Structure 1
């Protein structure tokens, strides 16, 4: 696939003109936010946006209805969330959220700033499309199946597999080599691409890039046993005992929209927070008493600490009024479906149906509601699609 139009992925310095106003996307490498950064985002959401912090499927955040882009850029720069004007859109880095705290072969979080700094230090890499995604998986398999372009996956404490276009390249490297090889792969992608935004769009992109790396480095081989990297829905929810005796709390966020007021309460806990690619958050390094108080205060405010909540089964595109292409307000429809008990964990096998009113939809398991056929924001893996058409909703069950 050769793209004829330029990459239009939004950032802070180049906004997307959505139907409900300008949209700004803020990269958060590794999903990590300090309490001060989270507070700065909450304040900016109130002062300059619609009052919410939207969480994206890449562990980034975005604001809708931005009223003053220049002031937003200044505030984010001051908070350390916009360290580069030239490279701001290419800092798409997902890391296993619980790495170094709960399980995993190794802690991948120290690789995040190293990779981020390497990207920003190289003028050529500013040319990467804003949709290129880097993944760092500590071996648990939570982010390697998300379809990244360039990634590493720990297979033991001292070895990473290099992933290209979401597939195992067969190349094995040490932790000390990981960042340099990922940056080399990014350069290789720029040499191979012919207008494509993603590596998987390049014909035989993974194989071509593997060969490019092997040719450029005589010490590399690609003879590792292939890894199977299926998409998984590993939302860390609830009480999570850390390896060091502290507690992490995973909290779902309804349709990925975090009210600024709730974010302020999270920031007040004064602990590191991670935004996950499943549109949830993980608050880390808590003692048990503090963790109990967080749940007591924030559960009534809408954060989801129950892993069995139906809210964790649903996702949705922006819908109306945010998207001009949407045929309906899908977020209102899915909210009504959850509140009325029509989103259920399991049920009888579903079959395709068409021309349904929103109130007639009952669906089981993971489901994505879309305002049009584009299905924006659809998660990876096995999902039932609920799609708005001119004649009503259509259910496409079991799509992968």
Structure 2
């Protein structure tokens, strides 16, 4: 809702250190940059879910993973659960865990798209976590990096880019505004400069705004100068079909259906038996198994 904020409470988006207490126990969310995690980390999470939660991993529309049904005392999950999560490497910055919301086109750098935005997403995360000021962003504040194929162009976002060629991307601010085309190497700094400006004007306390669209101008003043939307961003694409797909490097990626985003222990075991080194959670609550050395299954 542009230009207003009806809320009078702080953001309560869950994390490992700030769980949501539901009827079946505590719920925690792990932020994955571009949905990426190692197969080993996924295996570790499956074990953690069995030992501490309800045995399932739940995939979200922001390409993250949730665990639920966790025992808690006074709203706090057990220390051994937190230690187990930290050991996976998926909680690199406890102070910034809630704001590491960075979506990247899932197939970026492997099939299609104008540019590989995986390094951009990783650098954005590093700089985000390095600056204490960004820990004040709401847990729902979202960066979206579309690699030019248009698979994320319709996603709601606060800040983001859409690649226009192999070396550049157009800045996006909120749902309405487009900025300049910048070199890919400059994208993280440009986006975080805009995020810093938002923090300066969002207000304080429980009345602070969560999203750029809630600013009176929908974020136009953050840009300083609006630009026309580049014609090269006028594209859209559907999710990849399920099954094996040839990558541009001669290897393959398998797109695995996860019904209702519920990754059961049995399905996780099957996935891990086929996975290579990496796994990608998609915004469609499915999994990609990239860089497989076989293309015939």
Superposition TM-score, scaled by structure 1 size = 0.67
120-129 or 199-208, which moves further after superposition? 199-208
Equivalent position of 2:255 in the other structure: 250
Equivalent position of 1:154 in the other structure: 163
Matched residue of 1:86: which SS? helix
175-184 or 221-230, which moves further after superposition? 221-230
Equivalent position of 1:280 in the other structure: 286
Render the CA deviation track for 1:292-318: whole Å, top value 9, x for unaligned: 2xxxxxxxxxxxxxxxxxxxxxxxxxx
2:197 equivalent to 1:188:
yes
Which residue, out of 96, 99, 102, partners 2:108?
A: 99
Q: Against the structure 1 CA distance between its residues 252 and 74, is the aligned structure 2 distance closer, same or farther, given a 3 Å change threshold?
A: same
162-171 or 106-115, which moves further after superposition? 162-171
Matched residue of 2:194: which SS? helix
273-282 or 70-79, which moves further after superposition? 70-79
Equivalent position of 2:62 in the other structure: 58
- CA distance in 2 between counterparts of 1:205 and 1:270 reads 43
Query: Cα offset for 1:225?
Result: 3.5
Q: Is the 8 A contact 2:212 2:218 kept in 1?
A: yes
Counterparts of residues 82-97 of structure 1 (less than 5 Å): 82-97=91-106
Which residue, out of 210, 216, 226, partners 1:197?
A: 210
Which residue, out of 61, 75, 92, partners 2:84?
A: 75
Which residue, out of 158, 179, 185, partners 1:176?
A: 185
Q: Is the 8 A contact 1:42 1:261 kept in 2?
A: no
Render the CA deviation track for 1:152-171: whole Å, top value 9, x for unaligned: 11011122000111344131
Unaligned runs of 5+ in 2: none
Equivalent position of 2:45 in the other structure: 41
Q: Is the 8 A contact 1:55 1:279 kept in 2?
A: yes
Query: Cα offset for 1:267?
Result: 2.8
Query: Cα offset for 1:284?
Result: 0.5
Matched residue of 1:65: which SS? strand
Equivalent position of 1:352 in the other structure: none
- CA distance in 2 between counterparts of 1:232 and 1:224 reads 18
165-174 or 60-69, which moves further after superposition? 165-174
Query: Cα offset for 1:192?
Result: 2.4
- Aligned residue-pair number: 283
- CA distance in 2 between counterparts of 1:17 and 1:97 reads 31
Equivalent position of 1:366 in the other structure: none
Counterparts of residues 256-275 of structure 1 (less than 5 Å): 256-268=261-273, 269-275=275-281
Query: Cα offset for 1:232?
Result: 6.0
Query: Cα offset for 1:288?
Result: 2.4
- CA distance in 2 between counterparts of 1:277 and 1:126 reads 24
- CA distance in 1 between counterparts of 2:276 and 2:185 reads 31
- CA distance in 2 between counterparts of 1:235 and 1:21 reads 35
Query: Cα offset for 1:231?
Result: 7.6
Equivalent position of 1:309 in the other structure: none
Render the CA deviation track for 1:44-99: whole Å, top value 9, x for unaligned: 11111111100001000001101262222111111110111110000011101111
Query: Cα offset for 1:119?
Result: 0.7
Q: Is the 8 A contact 1:115 1:179 kept in 2?
A: yes
Query: Cα offset for 1:272?
Result: 1.0
Query: Cα offset for 1:281?
Result: 0.7
Larger Rg: 1
Q: Against the structure 1 CA distance between its residues 193 and 160, is the aligned structure 2 distance closer, same or farther, given a 3 Å change threshold?
A: same
Unaligned runs of 5+ in 1: 215-220, 293-400
- CA distance in 1 between counterparts of 2:151 and 2:177 reads 15
Counterparts of residues 248-397 of structure 1 (less than 5 Å): 248-268=253-273, 269-288=275-294, 292=297
